[in-house]
Amino acid sequence: MLKYYQIPCECGRIHEVTKTQAGSSVVCECGESLSIPTMRELKEYPVTERPDPQKKALSLHSASGVRQRRSGLLFVLLVASVLFAGIGVYYFQACPKEPTVENASSPFEVWQVWQTLRTGIDTPPSRAEMMRTETIKMSWRWIAICGTASALCILGMFGTLVIRINHQINLDHE
């Protein structure tokens, strides 16, 4: 709040001045030059308080900057969310499937499934089967990591939107 000191002119008009204008002079609309008292003398005059127009402009400007930063954050989170979801979908599509007779794509894969069934489940897995199992596990880990990261980005977007809406409501109430 700014304090405005009310200085009367001989014509009857009242000029509102701030303490930064103390000791200077102002020209009234009637043409009279009005000298503003010093700081000590200003304290004897009536005072009105009003909000500082520069602070309001600064707060609107800073609110605009905050709004732009939040919009940028929303955009980054959206892009990150889509990117992580896309990587997760890629790993899901590229993940090798456990071979079965139904999903075998070649006669060789059918033969491998038959060999596994013929030798029994209790036999130690071959090197190729161990590598395929590890690849499947790693793909599912990446799918879980990308899904979690995408979900966190979406939660961040909702949190940013809630903060933005709450801030807008607070500005509307002021």
Tokens 């992580």 map to which residue? Answer: 84
CA separation for the pair 163, 174 (Å, rounded): 17
CA separation for the pair 135, 126 (Å, rounded): 14
Query: Could you tell me if 19 and 5 are in contact, meaning their C-beta atoms sit under 8 angstroms apart?
Result: yes
Q: According to the per-residue pLDDT averaged within each range, which of 24-28, 100-104, 169-173 is highest? A: 24-28
At 2-26, the pLDDT tens digits run: 788 888 888 888 888 888 888 888 8
* Predicted local distance difference test score (pLDDT) of residue 52: 65
Residue extents of the structural domains in the chain: 2-50, 55-173
Nearest Cα to Cα of residue 133 among 87, 97, 90: 97
